Amino acid sequence: MKHTLAVLVENRPGVLTRIAGLFSRRGFNIDSLAVGRTENPSVSRMTIVVEGDDRIIEQVCKQLHKLIDVIKLNDITEEEYVDRELILIKVHAEPNNRTEIMQIVDIFRARIVDIGRNTLIIEATGDQGKINAIESALRPFGIREVVRTGKIAMVRGAKHKTETNGKTIV
Amino acid sequence: MGITGAEMLVRCLEELGVDLVFGYPGGNILPVYDALIGSNIRHVLVRQEQGAVHAASGYARVTGKAGVCLATSGPGATNLVTGIATAYMDSIPLVVFTGQVPTIMVGTDAFQEVDITGITIPITKHNYLVKDVDELPRVIKEAFHIATTGRTGPVVVDLPKDVSSAVCKAKPPQEVELRGYKPNYQGHPTQIRNLARLIQEARRPVIYAGGGVIRSGASDLLRTLAERVKAPVTTTLMGIGGFPEDHPLSLGMLGMHGTPYANLAVQECDVLIGLGVRFDDRVTAAVEHFAPRAKVVHVDIDPAEIGKNVLVDLPIVGDLRLVLTDLLELVEEKDHQEWLDTVYAWRRERPLAYGSPDVLRPQYVLAKLGELTRHRAIITTDVGQHQMWTAQHYGFVRPGSFLTSGGLGTMGYGFPAALGAQLGAPDTLVIAVTGDGSFQMHMAEMATAVQEGLPVKILLFNNNSLGMVRQLQHFFCNRRYTAVDMVNPDFMKLAECYGAAGLRIQQPAEVEPVLTEAINNGRLTIIECIISDTELVYPVVPGTKGLHEMIEYTEEN
């Protein structure tokens, strides 16, 4: 099963290497990893999607915790959260099927951000279900290129602010 | 005019109580060596950087303080790697300082540049590349804090040459503030109550004690617990010395080359109390067959160890000394004579057996060494057959008296570690037990021992062979021996050319007089024991089998 981990880390050089290295060394599979700075410039937040059974996820969390640069970690899979991913899709578009593509773009509330001679670049945001859906809706026209950011996620409601004293798991 | 980064480093080390460092100089660490002149810190010049880390490890294990080493950039730093990994696997506190090319050249593949922080990420508890000299005092303080607290381990601090030579205006901080590092020391009270209840209900308990007992200084508490609830105690290789082996409840070491009675007790017990252990594959053998009848308890300071290899029924995260203190408030006297009778019968009927005493047997030499040193010397080992024989036959009674590379299994560990141990315990007899293969990995450190005046004894079992590899080929490759025969130097002449004493044992009758002479000569000494390459370590548990399915010594094999 896929788990979504919200990880607060020190915003320092080398932190990504430590985390990526940990995953590869221990044979854990990263589905996606998105990272950026938080409202506190000394703290970055990673959203890591990782695949594995409960025992593997427990090890992933504990091993991440051991890293000195990991400040706080939550497995938010079972919680109410908002998640988003951004995708850019370059799709093959002849003049005669552009209208149809634009309708799909409309339905998904996506946007066309560039027009080439026979291509369009489409930008869409949404949860992973929606992103997968728009990708497959456009596939028949011929997808030339896809870039996805990976998922970012935030728990609903008041808790899980970027407070940084103490770790939570075990 | 302030002081340089290097001078700040030396000042911080002095304030932290460091009086001894091991190292090897070179271009990019020059400022640090320059700053050491006139300080109170003694520097021990090794012959290869790996020796410095092993020596620092030996020193740390004996003193309980962090071991400190210095090396230059590039090859100096990479030579440390095996030593750092060795310390990491055995949770030994070290702080390692490496020189680095000047910050402006970092990333240009400059002369003697290597990304040592990148290389050591997976084998350190934490590491630093210091890019700003004013961060240095904080980094040094953090490095020692991280190395010596929680689950201890090695920390690397990489110092670019321009950083160590720049003027440092910052002062060391009063407190260490690491928001991502808060080790948990106190065990959870409910879990400790549950453990007390489980112990009361147990009918066939076994305590399985590891290196954590020694690192947390919990040996006395372990003994009190074992005696109060009459639970037999088996130790891991790293736990040897954590429970006195002359104690009636001691079962010695368990695992792949463990005693038959320890292994059987683990397989038959109903509650297995793991204290400061990590359920390593050399302990469990085939993990699916491990302790099949037992409720498994695991107490460890590192939460990541719990549930990693074995499913645990009762986990407790905390410092063993604190957990056992709390636990002892709750457990009452118990007795299970029937269980102890069973275990003692195994011990009587299936002892650690070996071949006839009419030829020189390493097991006999080690048992004799134990007797002659009243089991109170500090023994280091390398890795191989001699290591297992030492673990089985010396009879350790004191925590911190057996230093070996348990996790990584690093040949070449023993002799440099013995030098560090001797420096940490100048009045104690220190003996490096080794083999002809292992010893040659770091025998160049003989010169270090001479230079520093260290009267370490080297008990060298010479079978002109890589005995443990040969043994593996014997059992698991249909006796197809390859790449194990060694043409060796004359170790007596080697001793002589280094100005050390050289003694040789070829017959059983020579064991006692020669060992006695060596123990009392006050000099660096090689004692070479000529043994047969057909000598094997028994018992053997194949990795695919359960602990009870061991191959034991018989007169036929």
Per-residue pLDDT reduced to its tens digit, A18-34: 999 999 999 998 999 99
Which two three-digit tokens encode residue B469? 């590899």
pLDDT of residue A159: 64
Q: What is the pLDDT of residue B555?
A: 82
**Which of B83, B61, B16, B92 lies closest to B425 in space, CA to CA?**
B61
Mean pLDDT of all residues belonging to chain A: 91
Residue pLDDT, tens place only, B374-386: 999 999 999 999 9
Reduced to 3 states (helix: H, G, I; strand: E, B; else coil), residue A10 is strand
The Cα B139–Cα B157 span in angstroms is 8
Going from the C-alpha of B396 to that of each of B139, B370, B406, the distances in angstroms are 38, 8, 16
Cα–Cα distances in Å, from B182 out to A67, A69, B91, B199, B508? 11, 12, 17, 30, 55
Give strand pairing partners of A146. A89
B298 and B445 together in one domain: no
- Mean pLDDT along residues B131-138: 97
Mean local confidence (pLDDT), A117-139: 95
- pLDDT > 60? residue B91: yes
Contacts for B208 with CB less than 8 Å, ≥ 6 apart: B233, B234, B235, B236, B254, B266, B272, B273, B274, B275, B277, B283
Please determine, for residue A168, whether its predicted confidence score (pLDDT) is greater than 70: no
Q: Ramachandran region of residue B404, left (φ > 0), alpha (ψ -120 to 50) or beta?
A: beta
Cα–Cα distance, B274 to B234 (Å, whole number): 10
Domain with A104 in it: 82-148
- Strand, coil or helix: B374: coil
Q: What percent of chain B has pLDDT over 70?
A: 100
State whether A68 and B125 contact (CB < 8 Å): yes
Lowest mean pLDDT among A105-119, A153-167, B171-185, B437-451: A153-167
Same domain, A87 and A70: no
Of the three residues B102, B133, B168, the one that is the final residue of a domain is: B168
Strand, coil or helix: what is B78? helix
- Tell whether B383 and B516 lie within a shared domain: yes
Give me the residue label for tokens 């908002």. A82
> Are A122 and A138 in the same domain?
yes
Q: How far is CA B163 from CA B28, B33, B143, B326, B354, in A?
A: 10, 14, 17, 47, 59
Q: Does residue B377 share a domain with residue B342?
A: no
Is A30 in the same domain as A86?
no
> Could you tell me if A67 and A132 lie in one domain?
no
pLDDT at B1: 60
pLDDT tens digits along A49-58: 999 999 999 9
Report if residue A163 sits inside a domain.
no
The question of whether B279 is a catalytic residue gets the answer: no
For residue B142, what pLDDT is reported?
98
C-beta neighbour count of B92 within 10 angstroms = 30
Q: Measured between alpha carbons, how far is residue B400 from residues A69, B216, B427 in Å?
A: 32, 11, 15
Q: What is the distance in angstroms between the Cα of B214 and the nearest Cα belonging to chain A?
A: 22
Q: How confident is the model at residue B218 (pLDDT cuts 50, 70, 90)?
A: very high
What Cα–Cα distance (Å) separates residue B162 from each residue in A74, B6, B28, B131? 40, 10, 9, 9
ipTM: 0.90
Nearest-CB residue to B180 (from A22, A70, A169): A70
Give CA–CA dist B408/B410, Å, rounded: 6
Residue B202 lies in a domain: yes
Q: Is residue A115 part of a domain?
A: yes
Is the model's pLDDT at A140 over the cut of 80?
A: yes
Residue B174 covered by a domain: no
Q: Which residues of B touch A55 (CB under 8 A)?
A: 307
B73 and B145, same domain (yes or no): yes
Query: Which pLDDT value is given to residue A165?
Result: 42
Q: What is the mean pLDDT of residues B141-162?
A: 98
For B317-335, the pLDDT digits (tens) are 999 999 999 999 999 999 9
The number of distinct structural domains making up chain B is 3
How many domains does chain A divide into? 2
B242 lies in the same domain as B335: yes
pLDDT tens, residue by residue, B255-273 = 999 999 999 999 999 999 9
Mark which of B325, B349, B373 sits at the end of a domain. Answer: B349
Same domain, yes or no: A18 and A71: yes
In the chain, the amino acid numbered B3 is: I
Whether B553 is in a domain gets the answer: no
Peptide bond into B539 cis (omega under 30): yes
* A47, A72: one domain: yes
Last residue in a domain, options A51, A79, A107? A79
Residue A164 has what pLDDT?
A: 43
DSSP-assigned states of every residue in B126-139: EEEE--SGGGHHHH
Beta strands in A23-80 (DSSP E): 29-37, 43-51, 70-75
pLDDT, mean over chain B = 97
What is the helix (H) or strand (E) element at residue B458, kind and residue range? Answer: strand B457-462
Instruction: Looking at the structure, tell me whether residues A110 and A87 fall in a common domain.
Output: yes
Residues of B with CB under 8 A from a CB of A: 117-118, 121-122, 125-126, 129, 146, 178-182, 184, 302-304, 306-308, 317
User: Is the per-residue pLDDT at A128 higher than 60?
Assistant: yes
Would you state the pLDDT for residue A162? 46
Is B297 inside a domain boundary? yes
Mean pLDDT along residues B229-250:
98
The residue range of the domain holding B382 is 362-530
User: Is B111 a known active-site residue?
Assistant: yes
- Where does the pLDDT of residue A170 fall: very low under 50, low under 70, confident under 90, or very high at 90 and above? very low
Q: What is the pTM of this model?
A: 0.95
Which stretches of B64-186 are DSSP H helices?
75-89, 116-120, 136-148, 161-165
* Mean pLDDT on B360-373: 98
Does B202 lie in the same domain as B58?
no
pLDDT tens, residue by residue, B461-489: 999 999 999 999 999 999 999 999 999 99
Q: A96-100, A139-143, A162-166 — which is least confidently predicted?
A: A162-166
From the list A63, A68, A69, the residue facing B304 with the nearest CB is A63
